[in-house]
A and B are shown apart, each in its own frame.
Chain A
Amino acid sequence: DVKVTQSSRYLVKRTGEKVFLECVQDMDHENMFWYRQDPGLGLRLIYFSYDVKMKEKGDIPEGYSVSREKKERFSLILESASTNQTSMYLCASKPTATLYGYTFGSGTRLTVV
């Protein structure tokens, strides 16, 4: 089975800190995604990457950046964390063949205080 691993299940950070959320997948998928999940808003796409060193903005990229130096790893960076970035963050990956859905990690619940 494809495994998408997010390095932390729970994080508490202070306002203004630089925060790194890490995601690793083990099935050589080309595409990787970062979503945030908030009650009543569903899953909103922050950034995605379709290849190493490639990145595309999603629907809500403000306040975030990403890094994909290796195919298996996709990092989400909060340059200066703010309380409105308190959320559940979900990483996903998929192969390029469009018939396949996404495989999600278990999520990182980030609280910014």
Chain B
Amino acid sequence: GQQLNQSPQSMFIQEGEDVSMNCTSSSIFNTWLWYKQDPGEGPVLLIALYKAGELTSNGRLTAQFGITRKDSFLNISASIPSDVGIYFCAGRETSGSRLTFGEGTQLTVNP
């Protein structure tokens, strides 16, 4: 199955720093989703994007649906220790309802 290219694979940052991660695909998607997985838990939906160019915020998180419909990025501003976890992008192609997931970005925040 198709994989999304998610980068970076891991990030080690200091508390208070901003974070940016992104996903790219060779296919066009009509939906982009961003999930966070806390240690020992399942992924939880953070932000959903449904239109090319859409910019959506959820607290300190901002995500954008790329205008080419082949990419998306997630920004976290002023990181805090509880932002630690794995962040996954996921995309859905126009033809069906299955999601394709990126490999994940492991975020570590040092106090």
Contact = CB atoms under 8 A, between A and B. Distances in A.
B42 A104 contact: yes
Contacts of B103: 40-42
B40 A42 contact: no
Contacts of B102: 42
A45 B97 CA distance: 13
Interface residues of B, number: 25
B43 A104 contact: yes
B42 A45 contact: no
Interface stretch (B11-19, B44-52, B60-68): B44-52
A94 B90 CA distance: 14
Interface residues of A, number: 27
A106 B41 contact: yes
A34 interface: no
A100 to B, nearest CB: 8
A4 B50 CA distance: 24
Interface string A64-104: 00000000000000000000000000101010101101111
Interface string B67-105: 000000000000000000000101010000111011110
A73 B6 CA distance: 32
B41 A48 contact: no
A81 B97 CA distance: 30
25 contacts: A9-B40, A31-B97, A40-B103, A42-B88, A42-B101, A42-B103, A43-B43, A44-B1, A44-B101, A45-B98, A48-B98, A58-B1, A92-B42, A94-B97, A98-B31, A99-B31, A99-B48, A99-B50, A101-B33, A101-B99, A103-B45, A104-B44, A106-B41, A107-B41, A107-B42
